[in-house]
Structure 1
Amino acid sequence: MGPITPTAVIDLVTVVFVLATMFSMGLALTTAEVLEAIGRRRLMAKSLLVNLILVPLLAFAFVLAVPMETGHVIGLLLIAMAPGAPFGPKLAEISKSDVAFASGLMAVLGVVSVATIPITVALLMPGDVAADPLGIARIVVVTQLVPLIGGLGVRARYQPVATRLHPPIQRLSTYLLVLLVVLLTVLYAGEMRQLVGTGTLFISVVVVVGSLLLGYALGGPEKSTREVLATTTAARNVAIALLIATTSFRDPGVLTITVAFGLVSLVVSGPVASLWGRPDEA
């Protein structure tokens, strides 16, 4: 048995983080929430449009317009292709918006992205980037779809068990995310510092803000659903993007921009949700 390397530790932590995140997501969802979200067909269609097509195309437009390192290009596109952040319902709760729709939308995005992520990778990744869409599809199925459906099944059949399991699994997911960010920051500190002068961080901010505005514009006539779609669209699924980055692309720049984009999306969507959740002054 060879020595344990920092890269191997990051790979292991990432896999467990994604499994815990998706299982926790399933444990928190009810069948009624999923069916209600699907039943709002017009709103769901626009939600899928903005999350699965418009945001990746927005990132792709910047890739075409602005010269960037190959690793940064891959990372930016990868996280733009990964919808359905598991903390979408928490943002809806903070903004006092439609939590039920946010929960249902999160589940739908988690399922459909199993197909859309590999397809988008095949269509939008630059031709000189060696990507394996089928391999990525297997990764997403095993680490995202299976635990999500497993959590949904436990919630549907054994609700008391799901209620007890969800808090510790959610805490584990949170702790692993913090650990992963720390490990990546320490291991790739040099690459993180180099981002400052490249303009890539600014592009990440523009893409996140653009995603927020697109979601708000397509969120329908109700303020509560506009806010949900805005914050859900801006907050991409860092978990699955990191997993694909660590298993399919070894360029440190891919991990660096993925982590940076994830932090930017939290810095933007979190305060916006808090601002919307403030009570109106009399």
Structure 2
Amino acid sequence: MTALQPLFNAVTVIFIVATMFAAGLATTLSALRAVLTDLPLLLLALLANLVAVPLLGWGIAALFGLPAAGFVAVVLVASSPGGPFGAKLSMVQKGDVVAGTAMQVLLAAVGSLSFGPMSSGILALAEVGGGVSLDVAALVRTVAILQLVPFAVGLIVRRYARSAALSWHPATAMVSNVTFIMVLAGMLLGSWHDVVALLGSRTLLTGAVLSVVAFGVGTLLATGAPARRTTMGGITAVRNVGPPLAAVGIAFGNEQAVLGALAAVLISGLVVALPIAAVLGRDRDGGTA
């Protein structure tokens, strides 16, 4: 993958920026305000996503005795809340789409700052691979620029040029979806030996278990009607791929084994979370958005 590395890096940057810009274009200040002022829901969601899931990821990875690459991948994924696909899960399960989308972008923004210290602290305490640690300052700076700035720009456009935001959002969302597939494909193709080696392994199982546990934790640590609670479960189950990719590039030099494990964990988590949302949505007539 060495020859294609610059292209992979460029597509990754486009994916992260497009995703957060699209999130900003789709988010209203009133929706964000509603989440921010619902203190019980906000505090429980922050507890679930910023504390509980990272610690559970560490515990599950240790319980399954993962090798270093898989352990690192699980910790990075577990420490990164606010995955954009979480908002899609709220639609699939016909849940509280407005609250889910607002919470997703809020968690992505906060997670861009919390990811570095949390993942670095866990990896240092676990002493994985001889005590791997991340350059927290560089990671926070990189992720904040790639996520917070595009989101803020999108939010401003939505606030002051609503018609432009509504017209730009479909194309931006399509760019996000296409580049997400390209990023996953690049991770798989560039690390296919490592991914094949993981088939039937504990790394794939760990990713699936983490997704199920995170869904349950997010649902339990939420308030409101069942539709809102399971929406928060879906938001918690889907983690944000942007910060882990930045971490792999900064701290691990895009090591193929870590990229392969990261792809395996992300895919296995999505494969488990999507059917859960579909089953929940089957018995609902419509969302609360």
Q: TM-score w.r.t. structure 2 length?
A: 0.91
Q: 1:65 to 1:91 in 2, by over 3 A?
A: closer
Q: Which residue of 238, 247, 251 maps to 1:248?
A: 251
**Is the 1:71–1:252 Cα contact (8 Å) retained in structure 2?**
no
Give the match for residue 39 of structure 1. Answer: 37
**In the aligned structure 2, how far is the partner of 1:94 from the partner of 1:203?**
24
- Deviation of 1:252 after TM superposition, in Å, equals 1.6
Q: Tell me by how many angstroms 1:246 deviates.
A: 2.8
Taking the TM superposition and a 5 Å limit, the aligned residue runs for 1:73-222 are: 73-126=71-124, 127=127, 128-222=131-225
CA RMSD of aligned residues (A): 1.7
Secondary structure of 1:125's counterpart equals: helix
Output the CA distance in 2 between the equivalents of 1:89 and 1:66: 30
Aligned to 1:261: 265
User: 2:143 touches 2:242 (CA, 8 Å); kept in 1?
Assistant: no
Deviations 1:142-186 (A, max 9, x none): 101111111111111111111111111111111111122222222
**2:57 is equivalent to residue 53 of structure 1:** no
TM score, norm. by length of structure 1: 0.93
CA distance in 2, matches of 1:7, 1:67: 31
Q: How does 1:60-75 map to 2 (within 5 A)?
A: 60-75=58-73
Q: Deviations over 1:225-278 (max 9, x none)?
A: 111111111111123322332333232222112211221222122121111111
Task: Note if contact 2:116-2:134 (Cα within 8 Å) is conserved in structure 1.
Answer: no
CA distance in 2, matches of 1:48, 1:188: 33
Aligned sequence identity (%): 28
Shift of 1:219: 2.1
Q: Which residue of 1 aligns with 2:17?
A: 19
CA distance in 2, matches of 1:155, 1:224: 27
In the aligned structure 1, how far is the partner of 2:215 from the partner of 2:75? 17
The residue that corresponds to 1:276 in the other structure is 280
Separation of aligned partners in 2, 1:238 and 1:260: 12
Aligned residues: 278
Instruction: Compute the displacement of 1:93 (Å).
Output: 1.6
Cα deviation for residue 20 of structure 1 reads 0.8
Query: Counterparts of 2:166 and 2:30 in 1: how far apart (Å)?
Result: 16
Provide the rounded CA distance (Å) in 2 between the counterparts of 1:119 and 1:182: 29
Q: Deviations over 1:67-95 (max 9, x none)?
A: 32222221111111110011222211221
Asked if the contact 1:246/1:255 (under 8 Å) is kept, the reply is no
* 1:235 has 2:233 as partner: no
1:115 aligned counterpart, secondary structure: helix
- Are the equivalent residues in 1 in contact too, given 2:89–2:234 (CA < 8 A)? yes
Residue 10 in structure 1 maps to residue 8 in structure 2: yes
Counterpart contact for 1:144–1:240, Cα < 8 Å: no
Alpha-carbon shift at residue 280 of structure 1 (Å): 5.8
Aligned amino acid, residue 205 of structure 1: A
Instruction: Summarize the Cα distance change of 1:46–1:130 in structure 2 as closer, same or farther, 3 Å threshold.
Output: closer
Return the offset for 1:115.
2.2
